[in-house]
Amino acid sequence: MAAESRWVEAHGLRLHYLDWGGDGPPLLLLHGLQDCAALWETLAESIGGRFHVIALDHRGHGDSPWADSYRLADYVAEAGGVIEALDLRDVVLMGHSAGSKNAFIHVAEHPERIARLVITDMDPDAHNPGSVAMISRYKSESDEYADLDAVVERLRSRQPGSPEAVLRANAVALTKPSPGGGLVWKRDRNVVAQYDRPDAWAYLPRVSVPTLIVRGAESTLLTAPVARRMRDAIPDCRLVELDGGGHWAHLESPEAYERAVLDFLGS
């Protein structure tokens, strides 16, 4: 089942999204910082027959336009704007990393169209050593790569458990030809410069829909103690830890991730 490229007006921008179709309930996927909608392809093609799968390119990412502001509030408003503009109801809202924070804040503030929530390896803290290290690397490294192999090696360093085919597909999705030759990240570099991490713990008790937290067992961003505290803070929540993956566990252990999600959605 191939995705169609589509566009939607939300929060002042004409945003790009991928739509795999399907007659089931809507499933809206939100990617993490620097990533894009196409990284959900494996999951979307696998479960697309059971859900109407949609993956958004947030502002400054993928094929969506760049913007003046990349604050957390913009991404949360964007998610809500897309749900309303597409008139999605009884939505399963699923995010990875920063996309998860966008998702759970939206659900806490506007639960009326949401059926279930999936948080993938994201914490609510204002300060997180794992995230600080990740953002510091983003800020210090070049956006330019000599060729696709160099991009693949960069991605392998962050998600070492991903199969070669997944790494290559991700590398193609995340880059575009550079005017000077080689490849450059698609995302706007200002996304990294403006990324903010306000404390978001107060939102969790207000999440009023059944919720699944998925943590990569080797993740340095969402630690096991923080994940358990999140589970206890959300009224109706379960926690699953996936062996063989870190922060990008959904790309390193895709079959286990799919099983965890489908088990939750079928319960």
Q: Mean pLDDT per 10-residue run, the chain (267 residues)?
A: 94 97 94 97 91 97 98 97 98 98 98 98 91 83 95 96 96 95 96 92 98 97 97 98 93 96 93
185 belongs to a structural domain = no
User: Is 239 part of any domain?
Assistant: yes
Number of domains in the chain: 1
- Model pLDDT, residue 180: 84
Helix (H), strand (E) at residue 263: helix 254-265
Question: What single DSSP character describes residue 62?
Answer: T
Label residue 116 left, alpha or beta by phi (over 0 means left) and psi (-120 to 50 means alpha).
beta
Does some domain include residue 79? yes
The answer to whether position 155 is within a domain reads: no
Residue 146 lies in a domain: no
Q: In this structure, how many other beta carbons lie within 10 angstroms of the beta carbon of residue 132?
A: 12
pLDDT of residue 188: 97
User: Which tokens sit at 35?
Assistant: 């990533």
Does residue 112 fall inside a structural domain? Answer: yes
Q: Is 77:13 a contact under the CB 8 Å cutoff? A: no
19/187 Cα distance (integer angstroms): 20
Give how far Cα 211 sits from Cα of 36, 99, 139, 146, Å.
23, 15, 33, 42
Does 137 map to a domain? no
Distance CA 177, CA 70 (A): 24
pTM of the model: 0.96
> Which residues span the domain enclosing 17?
4-127+195-265
What is the CATH number for 225?
Answer: 3.40.50.1820
Residue 210 in any domain: the answer is: yes
Assign 143 to helix, strand or coil: coil
pLDDT for the residue 147: 97
